Amino acid sequence: MGSAVADTGIDWEEAFVNAGRIDGGETYPDLWTDRAEAFRKSASAAFDIPYGDHDRQVFDLFHPAGTPRGLAVIVHGGYWLRFDKTFWSDLAEGALAHGWAVAMPSYRLAPEVRISEISKDIASAIAAAGERVAGPIRLTGHSAGGHLVTRMVSESTPLLKAVADRVERVVSISGLHDLRPLRRNSMNEALRLDADEAAAESPALGSKRGKVDVTAWVGARERPEFLRQAALLAEAWNIPLVADPGRHHFNVIDGLKDPDHPLCRAFAAD
Task: Give the integer Cα–Cα distance in Å for 255 and 270.
Answer: 17
Nearest CA among 133, 16, 137 for reference residue 77: 16
- Tell me if the pTM is above 0.75: yes
Q: Do the beta carbons of residue 203 and residue 16 sit within 8 Å?
A: no
Task: Give the integer Cα–Cα distance in Å for 106 and 99.
Answer: 23
Residue 93: how many other CB atoms lie within 10 Å:
18
CATH code for the structural domain at 12-268? 3.40.50.1820
Helix, strand, coil shares, percent, the chain, to 5: 40, 20, 40
* Bridge partners of residue 217, in order along the sequence: 173, 242
Please write the tens of the pLDDT for every residue from 35-88.
999 999 999 999 999 999 999 999 999 999 999 999 999 999 999 999 999 999
Please write the tens of the pLDDT for every residue from 23-46.
888 999 999 999 999 999 999 999
Please write the tens of the pLDDT for every residue from 128-168.
999 999 999 999 999 999 999 999 999 999 999 999 999 99
Domain map of the chain by residue range? Answer: 12-268
Q: Do the beta carbons of residue 39 and residue 22 sit within 8 Å?
A: no
> What's the Cα-to-Cα distance from 234 to each of 113, 184, 207, 221, 227, rounded to whole Å?
29, 24, 11, 18, 11
